[in-house]
């Protein structure tokens, strides 16, 4: 864990300086990635190259500042939880969404079953597996996967997003823990949809192939009050965007959310595919890709790069 309060003097409005810092962040992240390990509990994910690293920062006027592996496709994994929540808020509303899932961090791992059985029948938040599965159980009664895929493409401004069949199959074959969570929710009478359809759609959404650019675009829409700044289209109401970003801030990095909130301070969401998405209000959408993960399942390079940028460019929400 690295912390400093020392601030070098430079012009933080100068595009050349901003670019320099983002390049440094890329190098810091690439170096840090050597400490991590790619996920292997979903066998298909173990094929990723832990040395890959890329960062894309999108600005409101359409500029992309990017370095490294920004075109490489990888599975979105838990970052799809943000999409599922956005769809639920947009089409079901606030009351209905939070009738089925809470908004508290757990301090437990992303796939934990613990508090679900011992503390509360409703999942703690939509950013962990239990919560995202619960949200999906509601959505599965109303939407087909293709409709969610279309929403994801708009949210990420990326029409090339497809289902990664191999990841989907690998995940579905080995997803016993998620099955256990789903059937526990069903046994408690909390699950809202058919368990198998719910799981199938949850696995499919985790298996969408994105890249650092698509994540940066999604971050930009979150940073811009739910509006696509390039075509003016409103994707999600600003009030819901605040809800989503608050949950990303408090719960977006599983049981590392508190430490990340202190050290980085940017509403973010990670996935075990190696992605991290960040939203810096009225300024940037950030996407990082580094499949080498730490023990909590978060990208080591991504966290280091985010911390570097946040510290030097003053991106912490509390700055």
Q: Which residues are catalytic?
A: 78, 81, 202, 254, 272
Which is closer to ligand GLN, CB of 66 or CB of 171?
171
CA 54 to chain centre: 16
Instruction: Count the residues of the shown chain that bind ligand GLN, applying the rule CB under 6 A.
Output: 11
Distance CA 218, CA 226 (A): 9
Q: In 3-state terms, the chain is what percent helix, strand and coil (to 5)?
A: 50, 10, 40
Site for ligand GLN in 261-300 (CB under 6 A): 271-272, 297
- State the CB neighbour count (10 A cutoff) for residue 317: 15
Helix residue ranges per DSSP H, the chain = 15-32, 80-97, 114-118, 129-139, 145-155, 165-174, 176-187, 195-206, 212-223, 238-251, 257-263, 300-313
- What is the number of other CB atoms lying within 10 angstroms of the CB of residue 294? 15
Residues numbered 227 to 266 that lie near ligand GLN (CB under 6 A) are none
Nearer to ligand GLN, 129 or 164 (CB): 129
Q: How many degrees, rounded to 5, is the angle at CA 126 between CA 318 and CA 255?
A: 60
Residue closer to ligand GLN (CB basis): 204 or 308: 204
* Residue 171 within binding range of ligand GLN, rule CB under 6 A: yes
Question: Which residue is closest to ligand GLN by CB?
Answer: 78
- For residues 86 and 155, is the Cβ–Cβ distance under 8 A? yes
Q: What are the φ/ψ torsions at residue 275 (nearest 5 degrees)? A: -85, 150
- Interhelix angle 80-97/145-155, rounded to 10 degrees, is 110
Question: Closest approach of Cβ 265 to ligand GLN, in Å?
Answer: 21
What binding mask, one character per residue, do residues 111-130 give for ligand GLN by CB under 6 A, x or -? x-----------------x-
Using the minimum distance from each CB to ligand GLN, give the nearer residue, 65 or 206: 206
Query: Binding string, 203-222, against ligand GLN, x = CB under 6 A?
Result: ---x----------------
Nearest distance, CB of residue 297 and ligand GLN, angstroms: 5
Give the one residue of 134, 154, 178, 304 binding ligand GLN; rule: CB under 6 A.
178
Interface with ligand GLN (CB under 6 A): 77-78, 110-111, 129, 171, 178, 206, 271-272, 297
């Amino acid at each position: 864990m690295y912390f400093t309060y020392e601030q070098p003097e430079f012009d933080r409005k100068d595009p050349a300086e901003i670019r320099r810092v983002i390049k440094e962040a890329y190098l810091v992240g690439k170096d840090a990635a050597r400490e991590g390990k790619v996920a292997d509990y979903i066998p298909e994910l173990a094929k990723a190259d832990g040395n890959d690293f890329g960062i894309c920062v999108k600005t409101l006027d359409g500029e992309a500042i990017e370095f490294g592996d920004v075109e490489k496709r990888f599975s979105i994994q838990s970052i799809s939880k943000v999409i599922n929540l956005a769809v639920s808020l947009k089409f079901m509303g606030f009351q209905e969404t939070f009738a089925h899932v809470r908004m508290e961090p757990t301090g437990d791992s992303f796939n934990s079953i613990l508090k679900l059985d011992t503390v509360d029948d409703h999942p703690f938040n939509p950013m962990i597996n239990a919560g995202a599965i619960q949200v999906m159980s509601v959505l599965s009664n109303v939407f087909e996967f293709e409709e969610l895929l279309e929403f994801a493409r708009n949210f990420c401004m990326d029409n090339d997003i497809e289902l990664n069949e191999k990841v989907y199959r690998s995940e579905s074959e080995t997803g016993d823990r998620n099955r256990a969570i789903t059937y526990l929710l069903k046994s408690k009478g909390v699950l809202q949809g058919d368990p198998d359809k719910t799981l199938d759609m949850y696995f499919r959404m985790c298996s969408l192939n994105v890249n650092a650019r698509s994540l940066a675009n999604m971050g930009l829409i979150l940073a811009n009050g739910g509006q696509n700044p390039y075509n003016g289209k409103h994707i999600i109401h600003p009030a819901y965007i605040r809800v989503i970003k608050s949950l990303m801030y408090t719960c977006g990095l599983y049981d590392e959310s508190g430490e990340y909130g202190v050290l980085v301070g940017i509403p973010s969401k990670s996935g075990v595919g190696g992605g991290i998405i960040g939203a810096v209000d009225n300024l940037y959408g950030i996407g990082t890709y580094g499949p080498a993960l730490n023990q909590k399942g978060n990208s080591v390079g991504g966290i280091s790069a985010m911390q570097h940028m946040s510290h030097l460019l003053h991106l912490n929400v509390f700055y």
